[in-house]
């Protein structure tokens, strides 16, 4: 289950890291979806063909850190709720 392990700040984004970068083939990490100020970054896990979310990034020109944190939590809560629906 995805959870935020670390927050990073770049000059343009607040980035909620969901998994260690070492788990991924670095060249495969890329944006897969953008909605408003949020971008989902995903990549292929090393040694597999499986793709998973790596991070959620939020545009700093559109949201403050507190809003980015709240949006990330809401996104992950929605993901958890949808995954529970499959059991």
Write out pLDDT tens, residues 4-35.
999 999 999 999 999 999 999 999 999 999 99
Confidence of residue 81 (pLDDT cuts 50, 70, 90): confident
pLDDT at 85 > cutoff 90: no
What tens digit of pLDDT does each residue of 29-56 get? 999 999 999 999 999 999 999 999 999 9
Q: What three-state secondary structure class fits 86?
A: coil
Residues 78, 2, 74: CA angle, nearest 5 degrees: 30
Distances (CA, A) of 77 to 8, 44, 81: 20, 23, 6
Given a cut of 80, whether residue 87 has pLDDT beyond it is no
Residue 5's pLDDT is 97
Start-to-end CA distance of the chain, whole Å, equals 14
């Amino acid at each position: 289950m995805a959870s935020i392990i670390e927050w990073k700040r770049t000059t343009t984004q607040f980035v909620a890291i969901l998994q260690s970068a070492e788990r991924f083939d670095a060249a495969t990490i890329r944006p897969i979806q953008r909605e408003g100020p949020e971008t989902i970054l995903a990549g292929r896990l090393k040694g597999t063909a499986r793709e998973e979310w790596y991070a959620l990034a939020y545009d700093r020109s559109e949201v403050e850190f507190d809003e980015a944190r709240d949006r990330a939590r809401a996104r992950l809560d929605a993901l958890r709720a949808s995954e529970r629906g499959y059991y």
